[in-house]
Amino acid sequence: MDEAAEPRAARRSLAARLRAYVLAGVLVTAPLAITAYLTVSFLLWVDAGVGRLVPARYNPDTYLPFSVPGIGLLLVIVFLAAAGWSARNLSGRILLRASEALLARMPVVRGIYATLKQVIHTAMAGGSRAFREVVLLEYPRPGVWALGFVTGSPQGELRSRLPGETVCVFVPTTPNPTSGFLLFVPRRELLVLEMTVEEAIKTVVSAGMIAPEGGRPPEAPGLDGAGPG
């Protein structure tokens, strides 16, 4: 190697090491920075919303020389705890029944309230299996598989019209898992997975870049490549 080539090789080596250090720095700091940013943004959003509802004399930001991030979230927790405590007392139950009776007289509002109440009670019930079972199903066509969550069983007319054992499956979209499709799928056509709901959501949000290393899923129809049916 001539004398002119040695400095160029040294510069290339230095640049390669610098790029490697920068990349390592990004990998280390990016998750921390993004997590901190999202956490602070959420706290500030809650504080801004709650701050408009709290009278100025009760708002610490009014008389403190600095802002207290998270005070809005703390007030929300206190309010929810107080609401839960009052709902367990006789006076709270009477007030709740009176409020529900009032809502039942409103044509549009009563439907929204009843639906939301049923969904929340079903999702948060201790014995409920809503969003606790992760499955694979062939969607949108045979041979193509999608992650889904079993949310329950069809009721009413749907139950009488659908053949066999059919379950409700929510198929989320990527990267926003809060939107998706509701499908009614025969239980025999589902592959039940061992992964948790949190692991499945990470897989959906990351577009498959983050996949949990779970155990072997239980055998079910369709694993031989022929597909259900």
Per-residue pLDDT tens over the stretch 100-131: 888 888 888 878 888 787 777 766 665 556 67
Nearest to 209, CA basis, from 172, 170, 169, 174: 174
Tell me, yes or no, whether 1 and 81 share the same domain: yes
Tell me, yes or no, whether 70 and 152 share the same domain: no
CA dihedral 92, 95, 101, 105 (to 10 degrees): -130
Distance CA 181, CA 149 (A): 11
Tell me, yes or no, whether 5 and 63 share the same domain: yes
Tell me, yes or no, whether 12 and 61 share the same domain: yes
Amino acid, single-letter form, for residue 221: P
- Note whether residue 218 is domain-resident: no
Tell me, yes or no, whether 168 and 184 share the same domain: yes
In the structure, what pLDDT confidence band is assigned to residue 226 with cuts at 50, 70 and 90? very low
Q: CATH number, domain at 137?
A: 2.30.30
Helix, strand, or coil (residue 4): coil
Query: How distant is the alpha carbon of residue 102 from its chain centre?
Result: 32
List of residues 6+ apart from 52 with CB closer than 8 A: none
Could you give the number of structural domains in the chain?
Answer: 3
What's the pTM value of the predicted model, to 2 decimals? 0.57
Q: Which burial class, exposed, middle or buried, applies to 227 when counting CB atoms under 10 A from its CB (0-12, 13-18, 19+)?
A: middle
- Segments forming the whole domain that contains residue 196: 133-205
Tell me, yes or no, whether 166 and 183 share the same domain: yes
The mean pLDDT of the chain is: 80
Tell me, yes or no, whether 177 and 161 share the same domain: yes
Give the H/E segment covering residue 81.
helix 71-87
- Note whether residue 224 is domain-resident: no
Q: Would you state the structure tokens that stand for residue 209, as one six-digit string?
A: 């870049």
Amino acid, single-letter form, for residue 165: E
Give residue 156's region: left, alpha or beta (phi > 0; psi -120 to 50).
left
Distance CA 37, CA 161 (A): 49
What is the tens place of the pLDDT at every residue in 22-54? 888 888 888 888 888 888 888 888 888 887 777
CB of 64 within 8 A of CB of 43?
A: no
Helix, strand, or coil (residue 24): helix
